[in-house]
Amino acid sequence: MEYKNILFDVEDGVATITFNRPKALNAMNAETVAEIFDAATRCKEDDSIKAIILTGSGDKAFVAGADISEMQDMRPSEALAFMEKGHETWRLIETMPKPSIAAINGFALGGGTEISLACDMRFASENARFGQPEIMIGLIPGWGGTQRLTRIIGMGRAKELVMAGVQIDAQRAYDIGLVNRVYPADQLMEETKKFAKKLAGMPGFAIKMAKHSINFGYDLSLDSANRLETECCAQCFSTDDQKEGMKAFIEKRKPNFVGY
Ligand code: DAK
């Protein structure tokens, strides 16, 4: 697929997907969502890609939401199709056996906050702003903002953002656990790439099991979730990386992981 709305780049095992509609503050139209789905599928299927970064072009916005001009005249059936494609795409990112980081370099509103919530981690620039302002245009979040956001920051805080359309800055987002790290704007990409490369060099199968155990254990009872974790951990003993990691520890040297 040829991309018109995103950039796709791979370097040292790290794929960077960049929302690239700066004139619309990287707002996502249906074509953008389809391109993100295609790029995420490439990331999942290409064994040379070990970690993924999502970011926005320009210095003002990560993603200012779904494209309001495109949504304005949608019929319910069109809105449903748009919403379902978004959900399918975010879920692909959320469940793929590779780590993802959203590098949030400005406004992350509506669908912008929502796609970042599907990533494993969120790193923000000091000028980032988060919010679910859909209520201001007569909607509620349609891409997981009432669900993933609530799971990450809790019900009371999520309701403040969703029901009152309150926007928060990067420091507040850090304080309530919405973002993992905050950097000066000119350091965000460098630091995110450094961290993504570190993740790319980790034992790949163990990364996959860690993500699987956290994602799918979250909604289970503690007993079932611990059982899932046990199975995932036990499977790691089938890998070369487990043998190498433990051998290197005993021999007091750095491990050379192969990813399986
Ligand atoms: N959609 C389309 N264009 C947008 C946009 C957006 N979300 N956000 C910004 N733009 C465009 C502006 O229209 C403007 O275009 P021109 O006038 O230059 O042609 C350009 O980007 C620059 O924006 P501003 O001039 O407004 O820039 P400011 O610095 O003054 O303000 C801002 C920046 C981010 C505060 C402001 O642009 C803003 O409030 N933007 C809208 C933010 C927003 O409400 N986002 C949530 C969108 S709703 C669903 C599926 C998904 C969703 C819901 C349902 N189903 C299908 C049911 C998700 C919904 C959303 O995400």
Residue-wise pLDDT for 187-239, tens only, equals 999 999 999 999 999 999 999 999 999 999 999 999 999 999 999 999 999 99
Establish whether domains 6-200 and 204-250 are of one fold.
no
pLDDT computed for residue 164 by the predictor:
98
Helix (H, G, I), strand (E, B) or coil at 84: helix
Report percent pLDDT > 70 for the chain: 100
| Ligand 1 binding pocket includes 67 (Cβ within 6 Å) | yes
Homologous superfamily of 6-200 in CATH?
2-enoyl-CoA Hydratase; Chain A, domain 1 (3.90.226.10)
Tokens of 71: 């949504």
pLDDT band at 138 (very low <50, low <70, confident <90, very high): very high
pLDDT computed for residue 151 by the predictor:
97
pLDDT computed for residue 157 by the predictor:
98
pLDDT computed for residue 148 by the predictor:
98
Contacts of 41-49 with CB under 8 Å at 24 or more apart are 41/92, 42/8, 42/15, 43/15, 43/17, 43/96, 43/98, 44/92, 44/96, 44/97, 44/98, 46/10, 46/15, 48/10, 48/13, 49/10, 49/13, 49/14, 49/15, 49/98
**Catalytic positions, please?**
114, 134
In 3D space, the residue among 43, 25, 23, 46 whose CA is nearest the CA of residue 35 turns out to be: 43
pLDDT computed for residue 166 by the predictor:
98
Spatial contact of 43 and 10, defined as CB atoms under 8 Å apart: no
Atom of ligand 1 nearest to the CA of 81: 56
Dump pLDDT digits (tens) for 161-184.
999 999 999 999 999 999 999 999
Range 142-170 average pLDDT: 98
Dump pLDDT digits (tens) for 56-73.
999 999 999 999 999 999
C-alpha 102/C-alpha 117 separation (Å) is 8
User: How distant is the alpha carbon of residue 67 from its chain centre?
Assistant: 19
pLDDT computed for residue 67 by the predictor:
97
pLDDT computed for residue 159 by the predictor:
98
| Ligand 1 binding pocket includes 66 (Cβ within 6 Å) | yes
| Ligand 1 binding pocket includes 145 (Cβ within 6 Å) | no
Domains in the chain: boundaries: 6-200, 204-250
C-alpha 4/C-alpha 11 separation (Å) is 21
| Ligand 1 binding pocket includes 115 (Cβ within 6 Å) | no
Question: Ligand 1 pocket: which of 62, 68, 78 to mutate (most atoms <8 Å of CB)?
Answer: 68
Report percent pLDDT > 90 for the chain: 100
pLDDT band at 9 (very low <50, low <70, confident <90, very high): very high
Range 246-257 average pLDDT: 97
Looking at ligand 1, which residue's alpha carbon is closest to its atom 11? Answer: 24
Beta strands 181-183; 121-125: pairing state:
parallel
Spatial contact of 116 and 122, defined as CB atoms under 8 Å apart: yes
What is the architecture, at CATH level 2, of domain 204-250?
A: Orthogonal Bundle (1.10)
On average, the pLDDT of the chain sits at 97
Question: 117 C-alpha vs ligand 1 centroid, how far in Å?
Answer: 19
